[in-house]
Amino acid sequence: MNRSLLIKTALLSSTVILAAGCGTAAANGSSSTPAVSQPAAAVATARSMTILTGKMDGKPGWPEFTPSVWTAPQGSTVTLTIVSHDDGTAPLTSSSPYVKVSGTTTGSELVDGQAVTTVNAQNVAHTFTVPGLGINLPIPVAPTGGTITVKATFKLPKSGTFNWQCEAPCGTGSTGWGGPMITPGYMEGSVNVTAQ
């Protein structure tokens, strides 16, 4: 067996152990290496949010994330999927920190399956930004009449209520910072991380 095949086999074995949830290296019988202890609460959790346009939610000019509040347990690793229907841009400046992905386990996010670390400032429609968790996910503009999907994985090491905010000026008023930008349930909400 060549080296890369060995590594593949080892990876497969550990995947099986993780999937089973209760396996050990000894039970697997394929290795004499001591079992690496997994963090007790390394629970994989999936969450999803949808971004509706104001037209869709019945309040023109007021796009919204729904649900705007979700809960996950402390210690979990969350894969968040955000499906956006919004084909309107809310450009940032290219020097804005919010064009960059941060806080994810890979350092990137998947946009329609493609890993990116930044989104072109002119192409940003929204962001999902959680300062208390160091998370920023820029959401690109969706194709007209279609959707764009942003997927990212991050850890939730501490419990508490963490507010999120869209940092792209997608709201009302001359600056785009009014209306939905300052109203919970639209471009603001929270992530509630429950203590284990």
Residues within the interface to Cu ion (CB under 5 A): 126, 166, 170, 187
Closest separation between CB of residue 9 and Cu ion, Å?
A: 46
59: enclosing H helix or E strand: none
Q: Which is nearer to Cu ion, 133 or 166 (CB)?
A: 166
Which position's Cβ is nearest Cu ion? 166
Length of the chain: 196
Name the minimum Å distance from CB 81 to Cu ion. Answer: 17
DSSP 32: -
Instruction: Kindly tell me which of 142 and 170 has the beta carbon lying closer to Cu ion.
Output: 170
Tokens of 96: 């804005």
Closest to Cu ion by CB, 75 vs 189, is 189
Question: CA 102, CA 105: separation in Å to the nearest integer?
Answer: 9
Contact present, 157 and 168 (Cβ < 8 Å): no
Nearest approach, Cβ of 171 to Cu ion (angstroms)?
7
**Nearer to Cu ion (CB atom), residue 17 or residue 142:** 142
Phi, psi of 83 (to 5 degrees): -105, 120
Helix, strand and coil content of the chain, in percent to the nearest 5, comes to 20, 35, 45
Report, in Å, the least distance between residue 187 CB and Cu ion. 4
